[in-house]
Every structure is written in C-alpha cells, then in structure tokens.
Structure 1
C-alpha cells in the first residue's frame, strides 16, 4: 500500500491537510458492518427466535459477492457457500449455556464473538431472506477475530 500525503499550502491561511491511505483504510474498516447484522438488530429483532436452554443464536457470516479481482460470483455459488458457512456471529445465548457443572472451565464464547462451528451444525432458520442458526453450546469449535481470515479466497 502506498501512503499518500498532501502537504500543499492553499491560498487560505488554514493549516495543510494531511491524510494517508492507511488512515483511509482504517476508517473504512471501522465503518464496515457485519452484513445483515445491523438490519436484523434494528428492524427484525422481534422476529428472531430467543434461544432457550443451552442453545446459541448465530448469524452466519455472509460471503463477499465479489472476488478480489472484481468478478461477481454467481447466485448458485453464493448459496452453496452460505449453506456450508462454518463461522458466524453470536447474537444471543440461552440461559443455561455453559452451565458451571457441564463446563467448569467457563464459557467457550460470549455474545458478540465470531465462532467456528461444524459445517452442518445446528438448525437453519430462514427469516425474511436471511438465515440464522440455533446451535447447542457444545457445538462451538473455536472463536476467531475476523471471519475473512479463514475463508477460501477466489
């Protein structure tokens, strides 16, 4: 990445503006939202199932629709990837998740964590064109910081 810097003086007496491409990238990353999460949180939250017992409500990660080279992926390819998605965002947890008797070492994840789970784990629930999954608390395989780090890149 090339850093751009603008140190030109203008005719006004204001200070020169300095901005780097790296700063632009950080700002853009900060503005990114998890695709579908904000919409679900604001408009659709009353439609979401509330997990009971030891269940965890997960929003599967939505695959990018474009490759790094700018090619659009076909709808069938996107649907196949989505079904086989193995990571998601924990939206809610049931009241008995990670019970101290069953999990004496503590919880494996918490609300807001990105998790990895088995390819076909849990129940898939369709809500207004989107999908959430209900997993058992013992189906969580790992936590990750960024789901894009583990996805197959085209």
Structure 2
C-alpha cells in the first residue's frame, strides 16, 4: 500500500539507531527517547508543484523534525509519521 500525502505534508519513516553507553552496553531504540531523524518516504503535491518549495525536500532525504510533530500511522507493520513541511527543521547532508 502506498501513502500519498496531501497538500504540504510529508510522510517520513523514523531512523532506528542503536546507541552504546560508555561502558559498552547497547541500548535498543525502545529503551530510549524516540529519534528525531527520519527518512522522507513521500512528498505531497503542494510541495512538488510549488516553485519555491520543490527544491527544499525530496524523497530519500534524511531530515530532523519537531519532537511532537505529526500523526503516527502503521501500514503493513511499518510505522510512518505524516508531518507538515513546516515541522521539518533541517535536511541532514
């Protein structure tokens, strides 16, 4: 199933990152705060058709988004978040 965001919305998938403590203990993503870095999965037509916005973000970009932004959904056992373009703070290069 494909998700097609409407207007100026973006579908993102959070990047799962395991973290090690200084003593070498691996902390799984479920044991810590949710990541704020995600990969763009789909971009709405309101962004792709706007001359000013279309170059800001594209599918495949890694982005940093606001902590409590968006609506979380689960499709085919994969969790996605739908956010407005304004909730995306930066593109990670």
TM-score (ref. length: structure 2): 0.76
More helix by share: 1
Show the 5 A alignment for 1:125-136: 125-136=73-84
2:36 to 77, 86, 98: 86
Bigger RCO (CA 8 Å, 6+ sep): 2
For structure 1, the 5+ residue unaligned runs are 1-45, 146-154
Gap runs ≥5 in structure 2: none
Decide which of 62, 68, 92 is 2:16's aligned counterpart: 62
Q: Which runs of structure 1 show a deviation greater than 4 angstroms over 4 or more consecutive aligned residues?
A: none
Corresponding residue of 1:108: 56
Give the TM-score, by structure 1 length. 0.50
* Structure exhibiting the larger radius of gyration computed from Cα positions: 1
How many aligned residue pairs are there?
Answer: 91
Considering fraction of residues, name the structure with more strand: 2
Q: Give the secondary-structure state (helix, strand or coil) at the position aligned to 2:26.
A: coil
Superposed, which structure 2 residues align to 1:1-154 within 5 Å? 46=1, 48-64=2-18, 67=20, 70-73=24-27, 76-78=30-32, 81-82=33-34, 85-97=35-47, 99-100=50-51, 104=52, 107-145=55-93
C-alpha displacement at 1:74, in angstroms? 5.9
Distance in 2 of aligned mates of 1:131 and 1:70 = 29
Once residues 67 and 41 of structure 2 are traced to their aligned partners in structure 1, the CA distance between those partners, rounded to angstroms, is 18
* Aligned-residue CA RMSD (Å): 2.5
